[in-house]
Amino acid sequence: MATRKFQMMDVNLTTGESGITDISDLFDEFLGGTGVATKLLSEMPPGMDSYSAEAPVIFAIGPFDTIFPVATKTVALFKSPLTGNLGESHAGGRLAMAMYGAGIHVLRIRGRAPTLSYLVIDEETAVVKRANSLKGMSALATERMLRDREDSEFKRSIIRIGPAGERLSPIGEVTVDAARHFGRLGLGGVLGSKNLKAIMISGGKYWKIDNKGQFNIFYKKLYDSVVNSPLMKKYHELGTSVNVIPLSKINGMPTRNFSQGSFEGAREISGERFAEKHLNQQIACAHCQVGCIHVASLRERFSAEDQHYKTFKVSYDHELIYAWGSNLSIGSTEEILRLLLIVEKQGWDAISMGTTLAWTVDAYAHGFIGDKETVGLIPAFGDAKTFEKMLGRIISGHNEFYRSLEKGSVFCARIYGGKEYSIAFGGNEAAGYSTGLWGFLGYATGVRHSHLDAAGYSIDQGNISNPQSDEILTRNLYNESVWRMILNSLVICLFARNVYTKEIILEGLDVLGISGWTEDRLIKTSRHIHALKYKFKEDCGFKFEDQELPGRLLRTVTSSGMLSSERFRTEIDRYKSFIADDRRSLGI
């Protein structure tokens, strides 16, 4: 097997210059993906503003991407404008395939284009082009325009921001191809600050597989465990929205801004109901055999007076149903889809925007905001029409209050009060699980404050049937968080985390001729990457001491019962001590 070469493309948007560097040594040390990107982000001065022209955005893929099943993701690292520290987001679609085809394993972007622009990368050539005609365009329309405007002989990936990113919203997202997103932590705002509306990538430089016999045997083994075993069945059938009814039954489905864990309308907004009423197609990221992306049809009038209709495609999953369904007490699939379409067109992080609107309901009810701020609108749970009008006012920048709403609930609570109703951890609005202490602890301690950092919600659910000590559970949370550094360096879809065992990973590296990896080295590398991330976070001002349970959650019954701030604090301190031990032993 030929020695694998890994390359980074650097693009300076200020000058329009680009260059290619061989970074095989970084891939040898950090495996790829999040490991390599973390090392590169660590070069950024921690005091630099997220929106500074020189702040880097780093997109990285891993050695398995596009070659093995469900190794489909690209990781983006940046300094988050939402939390002020590590920004990390993962997306599927065709981006990893297109980067791989272009022969680029890392794309690092710095600088600021003089005017709104888009970047076209065709193999090793990068051209910055003016995008003034795309100004204010939705993420959906931008893709259509670029697909018509730019040609390529290879399959392309187009990633772009919507108007929210152009307005530098710190909850602005980046849409990737048909229905994937770099959703969390404000990458859309960062690209907006660089005047970068979109990136289109393509190329045909695929690696040659020269040990086909060994490759085919390994590939078939992986393929069978993805397609024929039960490990990924639920993602293919109803997708993650299969969770809605079971979570509601165990009090784990956040409802009415996390004041309850059970939604009386769960059946009406379940994955089963969405499939019956709206499912139009299921699509997959490039080189995924599962196809978990469920896309609904939404038929809408062109305008209130018009008798003509247009059909939109809107993707849905558990997180979106939580953020725009149960947590806002909206029990109609049509109303959820209509709100999601607005969010998609604007390019906001759907979780953060939905959770921020949930905050407005409590903030209004408890007197932190009033008519002076909302100007005639009364946010109320279940009132989708008012939420739609509020979104319209955020888009038009109606007043200071509405402009604040697209900065997230933490910012709003700082300005207007009602901190206990801002359900956020580490500055990032919470995902859709109210299962208990380790779910919330996972949000608070995770490197990106996401449910995907360590799946604490699974630990909570396991603990209900098989109780363990707090120390063991926090240690399990920590170990999972550290191990995911390897999965995210490869960069596989985390839905396939049980397919990619240590043994499979080592065999896959061997099949690709990437030598020198052992189980022990994988573990050491995962700890190294994890420690580097925490160093960056702390250098940017993150403190474990600042992490607390939002007041609302101290009065909510979760799947695991009531929570106490003392127990939360004890486990935060314990988690911190695990990291301190690792950093001390690694000298980081």
| Interaction between residue 292 and ligand SF4 (CB under 6 A) | yes
Instruction: Pick the closer one to ligand SF4 by CB: 71 or 486.
Output: 71
Which one of residues 23, 31, 41, 70 is an interface residue with ligand SF4 (CB under 6 A)?
70
Dist CA 171 CA 278 (whole Å) = 28
Q: Which region, judged by CB under 6 A, interacts with ligand SF4, from 49-57, 286-294, 352-360, 405-413?
A: 286-294
| Interaction between residue 482 and ligand SF4 (CB under 6 A) | no
- For residue 216, count other CB atoms closer than 10 A to its CB: 13
| Interaction between residue 290 and ligand SF4 (CB under 6 A) | yes
| Interaction between residue 235 and ligand SF4 (CB under 6 A) | yes
In the complex, least distance from residue 227 CB atom to ligand SF4, rounded to whole angstroms: 12
Between the alpha carbon of residue 152 and those of residues 102, 122, 201, 313, the distances in Å are 12, 8, 9, 25
In the complex, least distance from residue 282 CB atom to ligand SF4, rounded to whole angstroms: 9
| Interaction between residue 265 and ligand SF4 (CB under 6 A) | no
| Interaction between residue 284 and ligand SF4 (CB under 6 A) | yes
In the complex, least distance from residue 486 CB atom to ligand SF4, rounded to whole angstroms: 17
The dihedrals phi and psi of 75, each to the nearest 5 degrees, come to -105, 140
Triad 120, 148, 195: Cα angle to 5°: 40
In the complex, least distance from residue 317 CB atom to ligand SF4, rounded to whole angstroms: 9
| Interaction between residue 113 and ligand SF4 (CB under 6 A) | no
Structure-token pair, residue 223: 């393929």
| Interaction between residue 326 and ligand SF4 (CB under 6 A) | no
Instruction: Pick the closer one to ligand SF4 by CB: 12 or 240.
Output: 240
Q: Which region, judged by CB under 6 A, interacts with ligand SF4, from 12-20, 285-293, 356-364, 521-529?
A: 285-293
Between the alpha carbon of residue 158 and those of residues 191, 302, 449, 482, 533, the distances in Å are 14, 27, 27, 31, 28
b (16+ CB within 10 A) / e for 537-553: bbebebebeebbbbebb
Between the alpha carbon of residue 261 and those of residues 265, 317, 397, 420, the distances in Å are 12, 18, 33, 17
Instruction: Pick the closer one to ligand SF4 by CB: 199 or 284.
Output: 284
Instruction: Find the binding residues for ligand SF4 in span 364-423 (CB under 6 A).
Output: none
Dist CA 111 CA 193 (whole Å) = 10
| Interaction between residue 72 and ligand SF4 (CB under 6 A) | yes
| Interaction between residue 293 and ligand SF4 (CB under 6 A) | yes
Q: Is 39 helix (H, G, I), strand (E, B) or coil?
A: helix
| Interaction between residue 288 and ligand SF4 (CB under 6 A) | yes
| Interaction between residue 11 and ligand SF4 (CB under 6 A) | no
Q: How many residues line the site for ligand SF4 (CB under 6 A)?
A: 13
Dist CA 90 CA 173 (whole Å) = 11
In the complex, least distance from residue 280 CB atom to ligand SF4, rounded to whole angstroms: 16
Instruction: Pick the closer one to ligand SF4 by CB: 22 or 224.
Output: 224
| Interaction between residue 75 and ligand SF4 (CB under 6 A) | no
| Interaction between residue 495 and ligand SF4 (CB under 6 A) | yes
- For residue 246, count other CB atoms closer than 10 A to its CB: 13
> Is the CB of residue 78 less than 8 Å from the CB of residue 196?
no
> Is the CB of residue 340 less than 8 Å from the CB of residue 350?
yes
Q: Which region, judged by CB under 6 A, interacts with ligand SF4, from 20-28, 136-144, 288-296, 305-313?
A: 288-296
| Interaction between residue 58 and ligand SF4 (CB under 6 A) | no
In the complex, least distance from residue 155 CB atom to ligand SF4, rounded to whole angstroms: 16
Pairing of strands 117-122, 196-202: parallel
In the complex, least distance from residue 12 CB atom to ligand SF4, rounded to whole angstroms: 32
In the complex, least distance from residue 372 CB atom to ligand SF4, rounded to whole angstroms: 43
In the complex, least distance from residue 116 CB atom to ligand SF4, rounded to whole angstroms: 30
Which residue is associated with the tokens 């062109």?
Answer: 302
Q: Looking at the chain, how many residues does it have?
A: 588
| Interaction between residue 238 and ligand SF4 (CB under 6 A) | no
Q: For the sheet with 174-176, list strands across it.
A: 125-130, 117-122, 196-202, 157-161, 174-176, 180-182
| Interaction between residue 493 and ligand SF4 (CB under 6 A) | yes
Which residue is associated with the tokens 């250098």?
Answer: 539
| Interaction between residue 92 and ligand SF4 (CB under 6 A) | yes
In the complex, least distance from residue 288 CB atom to ligand SF4, rounded to whole angstroms: 3
In the complex, least distance from residue 223 CB atom to ligand SF4, rounded to whole angstroms: 13
The DSSP letter of residue 255 is B
For residue 68, which amino acid is it? F
The DSSP letter of residue 2 is P
Give the 3-state DSSP-derived string for 178-231, with helices as H, strands as E and coil as C.
CCEEECCCCHHHHHHHCCEEEEEEECCCCCCCCCHHHHHHHHHHHHHHHHCCHH
- Packing angle, helices 409-416 and 350-365, rounded to 10: 30
> Is the CB of residue 449 less than 8 Å from the CB of residue 443?
yes
| Interaction between residue 444 and ligand SF4 (CB under 6 A) | no
In the complex, least distance from residue 500 CB atom to ligand SF4, rounded to whole angstroms: 12
Instruction: Pick the closer one to ligand SF4 by CB: 243 or 255.
Output: 243
Q: Which region, judged by CB under 6 A, interacts with ligand SF4, from 114-122, 165-173, 282-290, 505-513?
A: 282-290
Interface positions with ligand SF4 (CB under 6 A): 70, 72, 92, 235, 284-285, 288, 290-293, 493, 495
